[in-house]
Structure 1
Amino acid sequence: MRYYGQNTFLAPCLMAYVLALLSATHHVLASPVAATGVDMSLLFPPEPESVHIVELPLPPVSPSNETGACTLSINPHGTGCIGKDAELRNGNFLPDNKHIVASVTFAGAPDVPQPGSAYSGVQLIVIKTDGRKFPNGDAWKCITCGIPTARRNGSTELLEYPQAFRDGRRVLAGNNIVDCGGAVLSSPKCVPERAHIYPIYWTNTVNGSGPGGAIRENRIHPDNVHMGFSSFTSTGGVLGQFAYFGRLVFNPFPVTGEPRVPRYELHNVTRLYDPAALQPFSVHGGKLTINPEALSVGELRGFSGSGDEIIYVGANRESCNTDIFAANIDTGHVRRITQHPGYADPIDVSPDNKWSVILDTRSTNRTMFMAAMRGIPPLTDLVSSTASVSIRNNGQRRFFQPWLLDSTGDRGEYLGQQLNAHETGSESVNDPEWNAQADPRWSWDGTQIAYYQRLTVPPQCGGLNPLPCPASTSDGERSYRIMLATLTARKPVRLRPVKRVSDVIPWGVPYVPGDPTPVRWYPPGGAYTVYGRVSGYADVTLIENSGGTGLETVAVSYHDYSDAAGVVLTGSENVTSVHVGESLTLERVEWYSDLTSIGPGSHSASKVTSEDGFHLLIDMMETEFVANGTLTSTVDKVVYGQPENYT
């Protein structure tokens, strides 16, 4: 079976249509162009590869979280146990491609000062990926268990997004950098007694005082000197987010800010948003224009392998379709990586820039009831985007699976290859109840990918939920596991040095501590006309909220509207979104839709709500789907209904 579509090759007569379609969606090509001037990768996407997947070893599971529950009978080495349902994160590979870093949660340790008491809480470990073991007989070792207090002052939790530096001696984990005193993390010289955990500090006040700015979603730039990150904002009761880029500088003796301990500081920070630049929408009198070429960085997701592009989730090109984009770090040139109407945001680009691995809902149809109908401009997204991104989860259950894409990304019938689409042994690596969670990671030689999964557990199954709870096949019936996918036909690529980039991002704005945070521009309330790029038009009414801090309602009527040759959209849509109470994240959405489209041949699609409309209450942090009424998309007689309500 081919996982990127029914046809391996497009007939030559379709070449012009495919190129026109890609042009209409402003897709930027990244692969070699033949002498004819035609990008041959459009016609000949890569064949599916052979993939072998195994589960990586982890510490044994404690029977409970009670003190002392992890006994020597469970772990004879006395090196700790992890909780059955305790969170973990895989990180990336060390330079030898035989180890990965990971954050795990230890449980059941004895009281201090008994042996083994250090194996408690969230810690950073290194895991062997080649089937071998460390000298003590474990396939893993803890780097931070037992680091003296004086060497971890000011540090915070290590759980989020562990990323080893290229030197193999340091790891970014949460808002900290773990340093093994110059020793490679996997070597016998790397022991807790010589390691440090340094906090990361971002100055956000004029005089440098205070605890610093709140940072999240941290990603190391491949030059290992800079870091990208995101930060939430709250303006007029509206939650927002900006992405930033800065240089990491070690300061052993800070004299301002808290904590005043040896720390890494973010210097020469750039906000990756310019209010004076082209925005996703612009207004000229009564004409509203959609600008798909606008550089609109939402949440930063990482960098290309060579570091020349910033990878991010950006403003939608199509309604309800959340995609990943890349922007050149010097020029700001934008290309779209994903186009499938499933939701994607976790991504890692291979060190040689030729491949991406994404985590996406495209194998589950989770978001298709909203997004399956293509070619709808992102107008209602001005108020509905929070809801459309929040439906990707069902509480703590995600619907991600890992997908392999070449450098050009989605196009035509090529939608990549699901890595775990086949069962490769007695363990079912493609069990849909095991859901990928966050960032997958490439090995430095481009032959392996690590990712982690969580099993569906209560309340997402069992009890009042009609979905029965599956049995875990992992050791100790763990609900988390780390997987290693090997692309068996690949030959290792040589890791090339990465050039250090400038502190200056020309298309961003230098961050000045203490300056007010900007508010993203949105078109003001009023009546507008949007003209299709091919033909037709849409009447659009925008209504602002009572506080004047954003839009509340978008109503659209389409009149033979077309953005792509042969695809014509008619009908209407009306969406209102309001915050509930004082919450920044809980929204109530009232949705009315009656849209139809026709396309080449017998292609047809519709997006329709029930007579009383579709009414959704959802919190973007809790992501629990609760709806009344229905919203249904139908494409060529294939019906996509909404998920069951969260119970």
Structure 2
Amino acid sequence: MGRHLSLAVATFGLLSPCMPAAPSPSINTDIQPPPPAPEPIEVVELPLPPVAPTEDEGACTPEINPRRTGCIAIDSHLAGGSFLPDGNHVIATVNFTGAPAAPDPASIYIGMQMIAVRTNGTTFPNGDPWKCITCGLPDENKWAREELTEYPQTFKDGRRAMAASNIVECGNAELTSSQCTPDKVHIYPIWWESGAIRELRIHPDNVHLGFSSFTQQNGALGQYAYFGRLVFNPNPDVGEPLHARYEIVNVTRLFNPDAPQPIEVKGKKLVINHDAISVGELRGFSGTGKEITYVGHPVESSNIDAFAADLTTGKVRRLTEHPEYVDPLDISPDDQWAVILDTRGTDRQMWLSGMRGIPPVTDLITTSITSATRNNGRRRFFVPWLIDYHGDRGSYFGQQINAAGDGTAGAINDPNWNTWADPRWSPDGTQVMYYQNLVLPPACGGHNPLPCPVSTAPGGRVNRLMLAKLASRSPLPPQPVAQLPEFIPWGVPVQAGDPLPVRPVPTPGTYTLEGKVSGSARVEIIGNGTSIDTIAVRYRDFSDDGVNTLAGTENVTVTRQSFSASRVDWYSDLSSRVGTKSSKRTGPGGFHLQIDALVNMFNATGTLVTTIDGVVYEPPANGT
């Protein structure tokens, strides 16, 4: 039985009372209904294997696990996954440790493995509420190229699951059945002829896949997203490994350099295209598979939002508008709801993105930097939120899923328990899985001014798997899945050896950006023709929404220190006196930030202060 933590009836809106309700530039053109009423949400912690006190051989003793079915590490590198088709199980990957040496039968419970966890309080026939699916496989059954680590996902047949770039398969047996024994389980790698793949997501049709490939262009880290078909090849004759594997074929790159770009130059004018498809980080698909979800070019400066694009028509939908950072998300099976992991309510990003209505011009060079400030290493600020199809509007910013906790150590809303990607909906739309990790050094303790918390979880573990039950909802019937063309019309079909395109950037020069409602901005872009180093903007009564009217200047320079690390020198003196009274100002010496997008450790000097209706937001101190 999962450990019951709290019954949550969360409330609407933000924890921050000064969040402006004024509309901001949006690409949602649908008529927006009134916000939904809040609903009861019960949050429980799901059971995990017992914890070994150390990672020494034999530390998982019969006293700790009398059934001899393994122990996990205190930090098991847990990654929560999606539901099995019956809705009564979720999969996860964990690191087993402390197993005795062979030939002891318990020796198989070692290393990163995939498990299934019961969500309904029942147990497997052996009495455990969880089952290890991949423990004890014969060597000839596993040709995985990577550990079973990130983004575990299930197929609708119940016989297959995916983690990292591998597929776990149990022949004709369901993964959770007693017929699924180690001798029947195989781990097959996923192979693409053009190279390494990351961020894999299964399309709801169970035959297509979305994935990303990372690049270095102009000395900076970048990525492209792709869409392709999965096929099984039992006898490959090219590429590595030359063993049975899944292959991705009929691939479309979800970026077309000849299509409209988010920001373009037309003569002496700068033009912003909010309808442009700018798939940055791939996040998955809608529940019916009609849309792809992603983090794209901002609509408002420094405001990282989630978007959806119709895979057939290319119509773009802005899923979120709140100034805080959003990234992981999952859309309900009927497409009517989303669970997002967002820093809203924590004020983590408000110092940078809280001022509304600033066009995303400096974001041509700052997006990877501003997004990296969402975390501080192991300390993440994601909170799970439930939001309807129509998204943020007026004073509605969704319903915090874990709002009802008391904030104490181990509570469902304990801020030291950080939510990690990805949340997952149950097939019937009545439950949501998410998982959390407790803050660890160096994000606390040592030179960090924040003390490290003491885990209250069983065995002192620092990972937990959570289940949110939407108690008032009726189960959804099976939902139809969208029929898609084999190649995405707005993308570009690719084959091995095709050169990567360069994302177009505006040519260096001085341009005018016209406000949609009033005023204009003078934009100076400085660079070498292939990359941009500095952007300087002067606003004169500039307004895109008729609510926020900007005046003042902003000047940003980015210096690349490596493909993932940068220094930004930021000077800002912006104000809005019409509608919301707000400002964004740096001190006399400016604001200077050094950050690595792969590490997310905050290291800054100087000041950058955003004020909204008298409430002041400042950057976090280094190490917090």
Q: Give the TM-score taking structure 2 as reference length.
A: 0.96
Separation of aligned partners in 2, 1:588 and 1:446? 44
Q: Which secondary structure state, in structure 2, belongs to the residue aligned with residue 415 of structure 1?
A: coil
> For the Cα contact (< 8 Å) 2:356–2:548, is it kept in 1?
no
Displacement of 1:55 in angstroms is 0.5
Partner of 1:556: 537
Partner of 1:335: 317
Displacement of 1:567 in angstroms is 2.3
Separation of aligned partners in 1, 2:255 and 2:421? 25
* 1:447-526 → structure 2 map (5 Å cutoff): 447-526=430-509
Partner of 1:594: 573
Q: Give the TM-score taking structure 1 as reference length.
A: 0.92
1:363 to 345, 369, 386: 345
Partner of 2:308: 326
1:415 and 2:397 correspond: yes
Separation of aligned partners in 2, 1:323 and 1:85? 31
Residue type of the alignment partner of 1:186: T
Which runs of 5 or more structure 1 residues have no equivalent in the other structure?
Answer: 8-16, 30-38, 205-212
1:67 to 48, 57, 63: 57
Residue type of the alignment partner of 1:3: F
Q: Which secondary structure state, in structure 2, belongs to the residue aligned with residue 564 of structure 1?
A: coil
Displacement of 1:257 in angstroms is 0.6
Displacement of 1:113 in angstroms is 2.8
> For the Cα contact (< 8 Å) 1:223–1:501, is it kept in 2?
no
Separation of aligned partners in 2, 1:169 and 1:400? 32
Partner of 2:5: none
Separation of aligned partners in 1, 2:56 and 2:11? 49
Separation of aligned partners in 1, 2:622 and 2:314? 41
Give me the CA root mean square deviation: 1.8
> For the Cα contact (< 8 Å) 1:456–1:469, is it kept in 2?
yes
Q: Which secondary structure state, in structure 2, belongs to the residue aligned with residue 386 of structure 1?
A: helix
Q: Deviations over 1:572-614 (max 9, x none)?
A: 000001111xx201101100000001233xx200001111000
Q: Which secondary structure state, in structure 1, belongs to the residue aligned with residue 365 of structure 2?
A: helix
1:352 and 2:334 correspond: yes
Q: Which secondary structure state, in structure 2, belongs to the residue aligned with residue 357 of structure 1?
A: strand
> For the Cα contact (< 8 Å) 1:348–1:357, is it kept in 2?
yes
2:201 to 208, 219, 227: 219
1:646 and 2:595 correspond: no
Partner of 1:372: 354
Residue type of the alignment partner of 1:342: E
Which runs of 5 or more structure 2 residues have no equivalent in the other structure?
Answer: 1-9
Q: Which secondary structure state, in structure 1, belongs to the residue aligned with residue 264 of structure 2?
A: strand
1:169 to 154, 159, 162: 159
Partner of 2:45: 55
Displacement of 1:497 in angstroms is 3.9
> For the Cα contact (< 8 Å) 1:225–1:500, is it kept in 2?
no
Partner of 2:564: 585
Separation of aligned partners in 2, 1:180 and 1:202? 23
Partner of 1:634: 611
Q: Which secondary structure state, in structure 1, belongs to the residue aligned with residue 143 of structure 2?
A: coil
Partner of 2:588: 611
Separation of aligned partners in 1, 2:530 and 2:220? 7
Residue type of the alignment partner of 2:438: L
Q: Which secondary structure state, in structure 2, belongs to the residue aligned with residue 132 of structure 1?
A: coil
Instruction: Between the two structures, name the one with larger relative contact order (CA 8 Å, sep ≥ 6).
Output: 2
Residue type of the alignment partner of 2:191: Y
Residue type of the alignment partner of 1:27: N
Separation of aligned partners in 1, 2:300 and 2:189? 40
Q: 1:308 to 1:454 in 2, by over 3 A?
A: same
Displacement of 1:424 in angstroms is 8.2
Structure 1 segments of 4 or more deviating over 6 A? none
> For the Cα contact (< 8 Å) 1:321–1:342, is it kept in 2?
yes
> For the Cα contact (< 8 Å) 1:246–1:268, is it kept in 2?
yes
Displacement of 1:111 in angstroms is 2.1
Separation of aligned partners in 1, 2:119 and 2:548? 49
Residue type of the alignment partner of 2:339: V
Separation of aligned partners in 2, 1:585 and 1:396? 18
> Number of matched residues?
612
Displacement of 1:40 in angstroms is 5.7
Separation of aligned partners in 1, 2:603 and 2:406? 37
Q: 1:499 to 1:319 in 2, by over 3 A?
A: closer
Residue type of the alignment partner of 1:480: N
Displacement of 1:383 in angstroms is 1.2
Separation of aligned partners in 2, 1:107 and 1:154? 20
